[in-house]
Amino acid sequence: MPGPDGVPREVAYTRRRGIPDYTDQPVLAEHRVADQQRLDVITALYAGDPERFWVLCDANTVLSPAELEQPSRIIRIPLAKE
C-alpha cells in the first residue's frame, strides 16, 4: 500500500470475525462454572474437543473466554451447529 509519501509500505491489520447468531440455536445444556474451572475443560466435557472453546464464546455472545470462566456463571452449551 502506498504511504503518504508515495513509497510502498506493508500495512499490518487484524481480520475481524463476526459472532454468529445463536438466539434460535437449541441448547444442549446449561453449565454452572465451578471455582477455577477453565473453559477448555468445559468444552472438552461437552464437545469432546477443548480447542472448540470459541463455540461457547459465540453461543454466549462474549469475545473473551475469560468472561465465561467466572465462578457461578451459567454458560449455554449449544447443540452442534452445522
- Residues 62 and 40: their CA atoms lie apart, in Å, by 15
pLDDT in tens, 8-55: 888 777 777 777 788 788 899 999 999 999 999 999 999 899 999 999
Tell me which long-range contacts 58-63 makes (C-beta under 8 A, separation of at least 24).
58/19, 58/20, 58/22, 59/22, 59/25, 61/19, 61/22, 63/19
pTM (predicted TM-score):
0.71
Tell me what pLDDT residue 5 has.
Answer: 86
Tell me what pLDDT residue 81 has.
Answer: 59
